[in-house]
Amino acid sequence: MSCSNCFKGAVHEGTPRGIETKFNGRDTYVVEPATNLDSPSSSPPAAKGIVVILSDAFGWKFTNLRTLADEIARKGQFRVYLPDFFDGRVAPLWLLDVMPKLELPGFWATLWKPYYGIRAAAALGPFLISNRPAVSMPKILPFMESLRNEAKQQRLSLGVAGYCWGGKPAVNLAHTELVDCAFTAHPSALALPGEIERIRVPFSLAIGDMDFVMGMKEVEQTKGILKAKSDDVPSQVVVYPGGGHGFAVRGHPDDEKEKMQGIQAEDQAIEWFTTYLKAT
């Protein structure tokens, strides 16, 4: 896997409308279904289900993810949770500026590459060590178990959406009964074929055909595995032409194609949750 692709992209503008709270001892951003904008005095609608977003490397305070959570809550009428499973040890946003400089051509750019490389390594090393699967899953599972119990009490279904770093744990949650369905966009570090073979709940994947973390060979392998079990487990794989790693979260808003593909991936997730998150 080319880790550098997990730390590229753009920061989006926006003002998140949710709240910061604690759930199961973890800092969590929570946003409820939106009030009808045509009738702002009306009461907020009841949630149709619960969605947990597992973040990319930039964590639960990343504006891109918070505004994405807002849109999933607004469009789908879901309650959305965005927890901090990094315990504050996130990738710094300045990596979004530094990583592209490591690939710039030219004499002067080359002279600066050792400096940028050292800066990147100093940030990436601690992040990757602190948030490896053996460390992160023991944090994620108790949170999901607690939320699953709460969802059952409220007669709500529970889904998970994982982006980049969050894709792997989202896929692993799809092996369990802790979630009713799962969505992931451009997941990183998947162990194929096993982690796809063990999926047991409705599963949706958004991936770009220019993703160098999960290449088209792996995408076709994933399609084949999911197709073989389609009688028992509904699934979909949507390939976005020209989409690179991170397009669903960190696409450049001034690039019309990247912007539209981000919206399309957002709608893909919402449609999947609308179909498979039903009242229990």
Is there a domain that residue 106 lies in? no
Three-state SS for 50?
strand
Structure tokens at 218: 């792996």
CATH of the domain at 192: 3.40.50.1820
- Give the pLDDT of residue 110: 67
Is the Cβ–Cβ distance between 163 and 185 less than 8 Å? Answer: yes
Is there a domain that residue 144 lies in? yes
Structure tokens at 19: 């709240």
- In Å, how far are 32, 131, 225 from 222, measured between CA atoms? 33, 25, 5
Residues of the chain with pLDDT under 50: 1-2, 4, 36-41
d(CA 77, CA 174) in angstroms, rounded, equals 22
Residue 20 has phi, psi (to 5 degrees) of -95, 130
Q: How many domains does the chain have?
A: 1
Is there a domain that residue 108 lies in? no
Is there a domain that residue 265 lies in? yes
pLDDT tens sequence across 107-137: 555 665 665 566 767 667 778 888 898 999 9
- Give the pLDDT of residue 2: 42
Q: Which domain covers residue 58, as residue numbers? A: 3-90+130-276
Rounded to two decimals, the pTM is 0.88
- Give the pLDDT of residue 39: 46
Q: Which of 278, 266, 265, 196 is nearest to 233 (CA)?
A: 196
Is there a domain that residue 35 lies in? yes
Q: Is 250 left (phi over 0), alpha (psi -120 to 50) or beta?
A: alpha
Structure tokens at 146: 């607690």
- Give the pLDDT of residue 214: 94
Neighbours of 232 (CB within 10 A): 7
Is there a domain that residue 232 lies in? yes
Is there a domain that residue 112 lies in? no
